[in-house]
Amino acid sequence: METVIETVPTQLLVDGQWVDATGGGTFEVTNPATGDVLARIADATPADGDRALAAAAAAQRDWARTEPRVRGEILRAAFELLTERADDFARLMTLEMGKALAEAKGEVAYGAEFFRWFSEEAVRIHGRYSAAPAGNTRLITMKGPVGPTLMITPWNFPLAMGTRKIGPAIAAGCTMVVKPAHETPLTMLALAALLEEVGLPRGVLNVVTTTDSGGVCEPLIRDARLRKLTFTGSTGVGKVLVGQAADQLLRVSMELGGNAPFIVFEDADLDAAVDGAMLAKMRNIGEACTSANRFLVHESVATDFSSRMAERMGSLTVGDGTQDGVDVGPLITETARAGVHELVSDAVSAGARALTGGVVPEGPGHFYPPTVLVDVPASARVFREEIFGPVAPISTFADEDEVVARANDTEYGLVAYFFTRDHARVLRVSEALEFGMVGVNTGIVSNPAAPFGGVKHSGFGREGGFEGIEEYLETKYVGSAL
């Protein structure tokens, strides 16, 4: 452990220099499995944020002029070095966030792929040329970088949520100020050092770590030098940031909360459905915006599905993610664990039954057992609020129209999952579900080659896929008379 932690910078990265925070303030990063302090890192002030934005603004012109091939090769080199150091990055994430090592290694592979994908997109930015209908003018469109971008990343995927934003920004020619979550900043600091190592020019990427997110970020959002804001996090915070961004009419990308339904139709392959449910529910300990939040199972297969889920969930090993054989690590904080248990208790008090789990364990660490609830009433809070933990609440339905209406009955619209063998139903239900992403007979939709994002209160904008780089590009039109 000490070797990995000791390699991570603990200062701010501003204009290519690792520097202390103004006033020398620091804060502790702790291991959620043990409570041990991993490191003390710089606690940025608003003045530090201003320095970081000044560096990004100063570097923007030269970076935008840098050849696309050069930008792409930097990303490709970062992909290769990150892949080479996958074990170290995985252990670092497990220490500061809690997920099991095997899952952390999966995140490294997933996160690194954004660098490879956008290394290939950097050289494919293009406009168009056409004749005006009247024939006397030629219409030319050009694409250019939006400009300096503030990136606010969450604690639950410390690597991938960074690479998903940094990759397209580098490819497009945008400079950046990154503000990682204070719970898990070490991975981002290590990633910034890696990007320096592969030749990213000074000032292109600046990293400010802070416990005063609002105090540091709001002045940047209201600053005319900033041209884009991208945020992954809760819907409540996202709404505040969108309001602040209105002052400068910033380009904004918001990847916010979710309340994903997981629908199992009567004709589903139950073996595949249970496998998919385990992936959709237990990825990242359930601490994911894409996590299945509501299990809606046809009444004819509900008992069988529920018993299989309880058996699978109950067999998972809970413990320190760095230990061999552990499947489920701790939740990020004690507050998070208390919130998850409060939702379970509310459901049980309303008539739900726990087939497995549902009891807070004694001892150190923020652990919560994988839990399956049945007979959950539709009014229970666990069906309305994002759980962000290893809890699977199950309810039944009788027909397709009913379950689609129930699935759509939420302010959120990030992702939905359903299992069926009926091809016509695949198309019919996919079109009817009011979500930005739909997983059909699969429990995972995230893919660097696909556009990730939601509708309604789950946000707007897309990350990944061909669409991902467009979030960092402006379109210029030139009309040239003959």
Active-site residues: which are they? Answer: 255
SS3 170: helix
**Other Cβ atoms closer than 10 A to 44:** 31
SS3 408: helix
SS3 of 205-261: the string is: EEECCCCCHHHHHHHHHCCCCCCEEEEECCHHHHHHHHHHHHHHCCEEEEECCCCEE
Q: Which of 293, 266, 262 lies closest to 275 in space, CA to CA?
A: 262
SS3 402: helix
CA angle (368 as vertex; 105, 257 as ends), nearest 5: 70
Q: Which of 163, 264, 252 lies closest to 205 in space, CA to CA?
A: 163
In single-letter form, the type of residue at position 28 comes to: E
SS3 437: strand
Which DSSP letter does residue 477 get?
E
Q: Which two tokens stand for residue 305?
A: 């599905």
**Other Cβ atoms closer than 10 A to 67:** 11
SS3 337: helix
